[in-house]
Homo-oligomer: A and B are copies of this chain.
Amino acid sequence: MKELKVGVVGLGLLGELHINQLQNEIAGVRVVSVCDIFEKRVDEIQKKYDIPNGYTDYDEMLSAGGIDAVFIITNVQAHKDQIIKACKAGLNIFVEKPLSLDVNECDEIAKAVEKNNGKVFMIAHMRRFDPSYAAAKKAVDAGEIGDVIMFKSTSLDAAATLKVNVPKALSGAFHPWFYEMGIHDTDLARWFIGSEIKEAYATGGCYVAKELAQVDDYDNGFALATFENGACAYIHVGKTAASCHVEAEIIGTKGTIRVNSIPRRNRVEILKDGKASEDLIFDFYERWGEAYRIEKIEFLNCIKEGRQSNISVEAGTKSLEIANILHEAYMKKELVKAKTAELNKRK
Protein backbone atom coordinates (compact mmCIF):
# COMPACT_ATOMS: atom_id res chain seq x y z
CA MET A 1 0.00 0.00 0.00
CA LYS A 2 1.07 3.54 -0.78
CA GLU A 3 2.88 5.24 2.08
CA LEU A 4 1.01 8.27 3.43
CA LYS A 5 2.91 11.54 3.62
CA VAL A 6 2.11 13.87 6.47
CA GLY A 7 3.03 17.26 7.85
CA VAL A 8 3.11 18.21 11.51
CA VAL A 9 2.59 21.71 12.86
CA GLY A 10 3.53 22.37 16.49
CA LEU A 11 6.82 20.83 17.61
CA GLY A 12 6.48 20.93 21.39
CA LEU A 13 6.95 17.82 23.51
CA LEU A 14 3.66 16.36 22.41
CA GLY A 15 4.37 17.20 18.78
CA GLU A 16 7.64 15.33 19.06
CA LEU A 17 5.94 12.35 20.68
CA HIS A 18 3.60 12.12 17.69
CA ILE A 19 6.46 12.52 15.21
CA ASN A 20 8.56 9.89 16.94
CA GLN A 21 5.73 7.38 16.77
CA LEU A 22 4.93 8.25 13.15
CA GLN A 23 8.54 7.82 12.09
CA ASN A 24 9.57 4.91 14.24
CA GLU A 25 6.64 2.89 15.48
CA ILE A 26 3.93 3.09 12.84
CA ALA A 27 4.08 1.51 9.40
CA GLY A 28 2.87 3.05 6.11
CA VAL A 29 3.42 6.70 6.94
CA ARG A 30 6.23 9.25 6.70
CA VAL A 31 6.48 12.69 8.20
CA VAL A 32 7.84 14.73 5.31
CA SER A 33 7.15 18.25 6.57
CA VAL A 34 7.27 19.92 9.96
CA CYS A 35 6.42 23.44 11.00
CA ASP A 36 6.99 25.54 14.11
CA ILE A 37 7.51 29.22 14.80
CA PHE A 38 10.92 28.41 16.30
CA GLU A 39 13.36 27.75 13.47
CA LYS A 40 15.89 26.10 15.76
CA ARG A 41 13.33 23.58 16.89
CA VAL A 42 12.37 22.89 13.29
CA ASP A 43 16.02 22.12 12.45
CA GLU A 44 16.44 19.94 15.48
CA ILE A 45 13.37 17.85 14.76
CA GLN A 46 14.21 17.52 11.07
CA LYS A 47 17.62 16.10 11.90
CA LYS A 48 16.50 13.87 14.72
CA TYR A 49 13.70 12.28 12.72
CA ASP A 50 15.11 12.54 9.19
CA ILE A 51 12.40 14.85 7.83
CA PRO A 52 13.13 16.55 4.48
CA ASN A 53 11.04 19.73 4.73
CA GLY A 54 10.96 22.29 7.52
CA TYR A 55 8.90 25.47 7.79
CA THR A 56 8.35 28.33 10.18
CA ASP A 57 5.26 29.37 8.26
CA TYR A 58 2.20 27.14 8.22
CA ASP A 59 0.86 28.61 4.97
CA GLU A 60 4.10 27.79 3.24
CA MET A 61 3.96 24.21 4.41
CA LEU A 62 0.46 23.87 3.03
CA SER A 63 1.19 25.52 -0.29
CA ALA A 64 4.33 23.43 -0.75
CA GLY A 65 1.99 20.43 -0.97
CA GLY A 66 3.22 16.86 -1.03
CA ILE A 67 1.27 15.81 2.05
CA ASP A 68 -1.93 13.81 2.50
CA ALA A 69 -2.64 14.93 6.02
CA VAL A 70 -1.72 17.51 8.60
CA PHE A 71 -1.25 16.92 12.33
CA ILE A 72 -2.13 20.06 14.26
CA ILE A 73 -0.40 19.88 17.63
CA THR A 74 -0.34 23.61 18.34
CA ASN A 75 -1.89 25.67 21.11
CA VAL A 76 -5.67 25.63 21.09
CA GLN A 77 -5.87 29.28 20.02
CA ALA A 78 -4.28 28.41 16.69
CA HIS A 79 -6.55 25.46 15.90
CA LYS A 80 -9.42 27.18 14.13
CA ASP A 81 -7.38 29.00 11.50
CA GLN A 82 -5.08 26.10 10.93
CA ILE A 83 -7.99 23.72 10.46
CA ILE A 84 -9.80 26.05 8.07
CA LYS A 85 -6.65 26.46 6.00
CA ALA A 86 -6.03 22.72 5.96
CA CYS A 87 -9.60 22.23 4.77
CA LYS A 88 -9.01 24.69 1.97
CA ALA A 89 -5.91 22.70 1.06
CA GLY A 90 -8.08 19.56 0.97
CA LEU A 91 -6.07 17.74 3.61
CA ASN A 92 -6.99 15.08 6.09
CA ILE A 93 -6.79 16.64 9.54
CA PHE A 94 -5.68 15.32 12.93
CA VAL A 95 -5.97 17.93 15.68
CA GLU A 96 -5.03 17.82 19.35
CA LYS A 97 -7.62 18.42 22.04
CA PRO A 98 -9.33 20.61 22.97
CA LEU A 99 -10.63 21.46 19.55
CA SER A 100 -11.24 25.04 20.70
CA LEU A 101 -12.19 26.98 23.82
CA ASP A 102 -15.08 28.73 22.07
CA VAL A 103 -18.13 26.95 20.73
CA ASN A 104 -18.58 29.65 18.06
CA GLU A 105 -15.17 28.73 16.72
CA CYS A 106 -16.30 25.13 16.74
CA ASP A 107 -19.19 26.09 14.51
CA GLU A 108 -16.86 27.76 12.05
CA ILE A 109 -14.65 24.71 12.08
CA ALA A 110 -17.68 22.51 11.48
CA LYS A 111 -18.61 24.46 8.37
CA ALA A 112 -15.10 24.26 6.95
CA VAL A 113 -14.81 20.55 7.65
CA GLU A 114 -18.19 19.91 6.10
CA LYS A 115 -16.94 21.33 2.81
CA ASN A 116 -13.72 19.32 2.89
CA ASN A 117 -15.01 16.60 0.54
CA GLY A 118 -15.15 13.83 3.07
CA LYS A 119 -11.54 14.13 4.09
CA VAL A 120 -10.88 12.58 7.46
CA PHE A 121 -11.15 14.85 10.48
CA MET A 122 -10.24 13.56 13.91
CA ILE A 123 -9.70 15.06 17.35
CA ALA A 124 -6.98 13.40 19.39
CA HIS A 125 -9.01 11.97 22.27
CA MET A 126 -6.47 9.23 22.77
CA ARG A 127 -8.16 7.76 25.82
CA ARG A 128 -10.80 6.22 23.58
CA PHE A 129 -8.01 4.15 22.00
CA ASP A 130 -6.39 2.99 25.19
CA PRO A 131 -6.92 -0.79 25.25
CA SER A 132 -8.58 -0.63 28.68
CA TYR A 133 -11.02 2.16 27.83
CA ALA A 134 -11.76 0.43 24.54
CA ALA A 135 -12.46 -2.83 26.37
CA ALA A 136 -14.69 -0.99 28.83
CA LYS A 137 -16.66 0.61 26.01
CA LYS A 138 -17.06 -2.73 24.29
CA ALA A 139 -18.39 -4.28 27.49
CA VAL A 140 -20.80 -1.40 28.04
CA ASP A 141 -22.05 -1.58 24.46
CA ALA A 142 -22.51 -5.33 24.85
CA GLY A 143 -24.86 -4.59 27.74
CA GLU A 144 -22.68 -6.27 30.34
CA ILE A 145 -23.56 -3.71 33.01
CA GLY A 146 -27.07 -2.81 31.85
CA ASP A 147 -27.82 0.90 31.42
CA VAL A 148 -25.15 3.37 32.44
CA ILE A 149 -26.32 5.50 35.35
CA MET A 150 -23.06 7.12 36.49
CA PHE A 151 -19.75 7.87 34.85
CA LYS A 152 -17.01 8.74 37.32
CA SER A 153 -13.82 10.09 35.88
CA THR A 154 -10.74 11.14 37.76
CA SER A 155 -7.89 12.84 35.92
CA LEU A 156 -4.97 13.86 38.03
CA ASP A 157 -1.42 14.86 37.37
CA ALA A 158 1.23 14.02 39.92
CA ALA A 159 2.01 16.77 42.41
CA ALA A 160 5.59 16.32 41.23
CA THR A 161 4.57 17.99 37.96
CA LEU A 162 3.31 21.18 39.67
CA LYS A 163 6.65 22.89 39.15
CA VAL A 164 6.09 22.64 35.39
CA ASN A 165 2.33 22.88 35.41
CA VAL A 166 1.91 26.05 37.46
CA PRO A 167 4.19 28.25 35.33
CA LYS A 168 2.46 26.96 32.20
CA ALA A 169 -0.92 27.79 33.70
CA LEU A 170 0.22 31.23 34.80
CA SER A 171 1.65 31.98 31.36
CA GLY A 172 -1.49 30.90 29.56
CA ALA A 173 0.11 27.90 27.90
CA PHE A 174 -2.25 25.73 29.96
CA HIS A 175 -5.93 26.61 30.34
CA PRO A 176 -8.06 26.06 33.42
CA TRP A 177 -8.04 22.43 34.32
CA PHE A 178 -11.67 21.54 33.47
CA TYR A 179 -10.66 22.55 29.93
CA GLU A 180 -7.06 21.46 29.64
CA MET A 181 -7.42 18.10 31.36
CA GLY A 182 -11.18 17.81 31.78
CA ILE A 183 -11.92 17.87 28.07
CA HIS A 184 -10.89 14.19 28.08
CA ASP A 185 -13.36 13.42 30.83
CA THR A 186 -16.18 15.34 29.20
CA ASP A 187 -15.54 13.52 25.93
CA LEU A 188 -15.59 10.17 27.71
CA ALA A 189 -18.71 11.12 29.67
CA ARG A 190 -20.64 11.62 26.43
CA TRP A 191 -19.10 8.48 24.94
CA PHE A 192 -20.14 6.26 27.81
CA ILE A 193 -23.43 7.93 28.77
CA GLY A 194 -24.68 8.51 25.24
CA SER A 195 -26.53 11.69 26.12
CA GLU A 196 -25.93 15.43 26.55
CA ILE A 197 -25.43 17.42 29.73
CA LYS A 198 -28.39 19.05 31.45
CA GLU A 199 -26.81 20.76 34.45
CA ALA A 200 -23.84 20.66 36.74
CA TYR A 201 -22.41 21.93 39.99
CA ALA A 202 -18.69 22.23 40.54
CA THR A 203 -16.45 23.06 43.43
CA GLY A 204 -12.86 22.52 44.52
CA GLY A 205 -10.05 24.97 45.04
CA CYS A 206 -6.42 25.95 44.99
CA TYR A 207 -5.46 23.80 47.95
CA VAL A 208 -1.75 23.58 47.24
CA ALA A 209 -0.95 26.01 44.43
CA LYS A 210 -2.82 29.11 45.56
CA GLU A 211 -1.42 31.21 42.71
CA LEU A 212 -3.51 29.29 40.19
CA ALA A 213 -6.52 31.35 41.30
CA GLN A 214 -5.00 34.33 39.51
CA VAL A 215 -5.75 32.69 36.18
CA ASP A 216 -9.11 31.17 37.15
CA ASP A 217 -7.43 27.82 37.51
CA TYR A 218 -7.44 25.36 40.44
CA ASP A 219 -5.39 22.43 41.56
CA ASN A 220 -8.48 20.31 42.19
CA GLY A 221 -11.89 20.70 40.60
CA PHE A 222 -14.85 18.47 41.49
CA ALA A 223 -18.04 18.42 39.42
CA LEU A 224 -21.33 16.59 39.52
CA ALA A 225 -23.47 16.69 36.39
CA THR A 226 -26.86 15.38 35.34
CA PHE A 227 -27.38 14.34 31.74
CA GLU A 228 -30.55 14.54 29.71
CA ASN A 229 -31.21 10.82 29.88
CA GLY A 230 -31.01 10.88 33.67
CA ALA A 231 -27.52 9.40 33.97
CA CYS A 232 -24.99 11.42 35.91
CA ALA A 233 -21.27 12.14 35.85
CA TYR A 234 -18.78 12.91 38.57
CA ILE A 235 -15.59 14.48 37.27
CA HIS A 236 -12.51 15.23 39.31
CA VAL A 237 -9.60 17.02 37.66
CA GLY A 238 -6.49 17.75 39.66
CA LYS A 239 -2.79 18.45 39.76
CA THR A 240 -1.71 17.27 43.20
CA ALA A 241 -1.91 13.49 43.11
CA ALA A 242 0.57 10.84 44.22
CA SER A 243 1.14 9.97 40.56
CA CYS A 244 -0.33 10.41 37.12
CA HIS A 245 -3.74 9.04 38.02
CA VAL A 246 -6.51 8.72 35.47
CA GLU A 247 -9.24 6.32 36.39
CA ALA A 248 -12.87 5.81 35.52
CA GLU A 249 -15.81 3.94 36.91
CA ILE A 250 -18.83 3.24 34.79
CA ILE A 251 -21.75 2.25 36.98
CA GLY A 252 -24.62 0.48 35.30
CA THR A 253 -27.90 -0.94 36.47
CA LYS A 254 -26.39 -4.45 36.37
CA GLY A 255 -22.74 -4.00 37.25
CA THR A 256 -19.80 -1.66 37.41
CA ILE A 257 -16.69 -1.38 35.28
CA ARG A 258 -13.52 0.17 36.59
CA VAL A 259 -10.61 1.32 34.50
CA ASN A 260 -7.20 1.80 36.10
CA SER A 261 -8.35 1.96 39.67
CA ILE A 262 -4.72 1.66 40.76
CA PRO A 263 -2.49 3.32 38.15
CA ARG A 264 0.22 0.68 38.32
CA ARG A 265 3.42 1.41 36.46
CA ASN A 266 4.15 -2.23 35.69
CA ARG A 267 3.53 -5.78 36.88
CA VAL A 268 5.92 -5.56 39.85
CA GLU A 269 4.94 -5.67 43.52
CA ILE A 270 7.32 -5.41 46.45
CA LEU A 271 6.67 -6.87 49.91
CA LYS A 272 9.02 -5.27 52.36
CA ASP A 273 9.08 -3.88 55.89
CA GLY A 274 5.49 -4.78 56.63
CA LYS A 275 4.07 -3.27 53.47
CA ALA A 276 3.13 -4.41 49.98
CA SER A 277 3.70 -1.67 47.45
CA GLU A 278 3.49 -1.02 43.76
CA ASP A 279 5.03 1.79 41.76
CA LEU A 280 2.55 4.14 40.14
CA ILE A 281 2.66 5.78 36.73
CA PHE A 282 4.66 8.98 36.75
CA ASP A 283 3.33 11.02 33.86
CA PHE A 284 0.98 10.99 30.91
CA TYR A 285 3.65 9.99 28.42
CA GLU A 286 4.09 6.78 30.36
CA ARG A 287 0.36 6.18 30.66
CA TRP A 288 -0.81 6.96 27.17
CA GLY A 289 2.04 6.00 24.81
CA GLU A 290 0.20 3.04 23.41
CA ALA A 291 -3.07 4.98 23.09
CA TYR A 292 -1.29 7.76 21.22
CA ARG A 293 0.06 5.18 18.81
CA ILE A 294 -3.28 3.45 18.28
CA GLU A 295 -5.20 6.68 17.71
CA LYS A 296 -2.84 7.64 14.90
CA ILE A 297 -3.10 4.21 13.34
CA GLU A 298 -6.88 4.63 13.43
CA PHE A 299 -6.58 8.06 11.77
CA LEU A 300 -4.31 6.67 9.05
CA ASN A 301 -6.61 3.69 8.53
CA CYS A 302 -9.58 6.06 8.14
CA ILE A 303 -7.69 7.74 5.32
CA LYS A 304 -6.67 4.47 3.70
CA GLU A 305 -10.13 2.97 3.99
CA GLY A 306 -12.02 6.10 3.02
CA ARG A 307 -14.11 6.32 6.15
CA GLN A 308 -14.66 9.00 8.78
CA SER A 309 -13.34 9.01 12.32
CA ASN A 310 -15.99 9.06 15.02
CA ILE A 311 -14.30 11.83 16.98
CA SER A 312 -15.90 14.56 14.92
CA VAL A 313 -16.18 18.33 15.24
CA GLU A 314 -19.50 17.71 16.93
CA ALA A 315 -17.83 15.54 19.56
CA GLY A 316 -15.31 18.29 20.15
CA THR A 317 -18.03 20.91 20.40
CA LYS A 318 -20.24 18.99 22.76
CA SER A 319 -17.41 18.02 25.08
CA LEU A 320 -16.37 21.68 25.13
CA GLU A 321 -19.90 22.67 26.12
CA ILE A 322 -19.65 20.37 29.12
CA ALA A 323 -16.25 21.80 30.05
CA ASN A 324 -17.75 25.29 29.76
CA ILE A 325 -20.49 24.38 32.20
CA LEU A 326 -18.11 22.74 34.67
CA HIS A 327 -15.72 25.68 34.61
CA GLU A 328 -18.52 28.23 34.88
CA ALA A 329 -20.07 26.28 37.76
CA TYR A 330 -16.70 26.18 39.48
CA MET A 331 -16.18 29.92 39.07
CA LYS A 332 -19.68 30.86 40.24
CA LYS A 333 -20.11 28.02 42.72
CA GLU A 334 -23.59 27.66 41.35
CA LEU A 335 -25.65 25.06 39.58
CA VAL A 336 -25.28 25.85 35.87
CA LYS A 337 -27.90 24.63 33.46
CA ALA A 338 -26.99 23.63 29.94
CA LYS A 339 -29.42 25.83 28.08
CA THR A 340 -28.20 29.08 29.63
CA ALA A 341 -24.65 28.19 28.97
CA GLU A 342 -25.31 27.37 25.37
CA LEU A 343 -27.30 30.56 24.76
CA ASN A 344 -24.60 32.68 26.31
CA LYS A 345 -22.03 31.11 24.12
CA ARG A 346 -23.85 30.93 20.81
CA LYS A 347 -26.06 33.99 20.63
Where the two chains meet, the residues of A that have a C-beta atom closer than 8 Å to any C-beta of B are: 23-28, 131-132, 135-136, 139, 144-145, 147, 149-150, 158-160, 199, 201-205, 207-208, 220, 222-226, 230, 232, 234, 236, 240-243, 245, 251, 253-262, 264-280, 282, 333-335
Other A-B pairs, 17, CB within 8 Å; known A201-B335, A242-B256, A258-B268: A132-B266, A145-B270, A147-B207, A149-B207, A150-B222, A158-B274, A201-B201, A222-B224, A224-B224, A226-B333, A234-B234, A242-B275, A242-B276, A245-B271, A256-B270, A276-B277, A276-B280
Q: How far is the CB of A9 from chain B (nearest CB, A)?
A: 22
- Which B residues are CB-close (under 8 A) to A202? 224
- Which B residues are CB-close (under 8 A) to A136? 268
The chain B residue with its CB closest to the CB of A293 is B25
Q: How far is the CB of A196 from chain B (nearest CB, A)?
A: 15
- Which B residues are CB-close (under 8 A) to A240? 253
The chain B residue with its CB closest to the CB of A262 is B276
Which of B27, B159, B255, B335 meets A270, CB within 8 Å? B255
Q: How far is the CB of A177 from chain B (nearest CB, A)?
A: 14
The 7 closest A-B pairs by CB, nearest first: A255-B272, A24-B27, A201-B201, A224-B224, A277-B277, A132-B267, A260-B267
Question: Is A203 in contact with B226, judged by CB distance below 8 angstroms?
Answer: yes
Q: How far is the CB of A262 from chain B (nearest CB, A)?
A: 5
- Which B residues are CB-close (under 8 A) to A268? 132, 135-136, 139, 257-259
- Which B residues are CB-close (under 8 A) to A23? 27
Knowing A132-B268, A135-B266, A144-B270, the reply to whether A224 touches B230 (Cβ < 8 A) is no
Which of B24, B279, B333 meets A199, CB within 8 Å? B333
The chain B residue with its CB closest to the CB of A255 is B272
Question: Is B274 in contact with A236, judged by CB distance below 8 angstroms?
Answer: no
Question: Is A280 in contact with B270, judged by CB distance below 8 angstroms?
Answer: no
- Which B residues are CB-close (under 8 A) to A145? 270, 272
- Which B residues are CB-close (under 8 A) to A257? 268-271
The chain B residue with its CB closest to the CB of A199 is B333
Q: How far is the CA of A325 from the CA of B311 in the complex (A)?
A: 39
Question: Is B280 in contact with A241, judged by CB distance below 8 angstroms?
Answer: no
The chain B residue with its CB closest to the CB of A247 is B267
Which of B222, B266, B271 meets A255, CB within 8 Å? B271
The chain B residue with its CB closest to the CB of A1 is B50
The chain B residue with its CB closest to the CB of A203 is B226
Q: How far is the CA of A201 from the CA of B201 in the complex (A)?
A: 7
- Which B residues are CB-close (under 8 A) to A256? 241-242, 270-272
Q: Which of A28, A136, A205, A258 counts the most chain B CB atoms within 10 A?
A: A258
Q: How far is the CA of A265 from the CA of B138 in the complex (A)?
A: 15
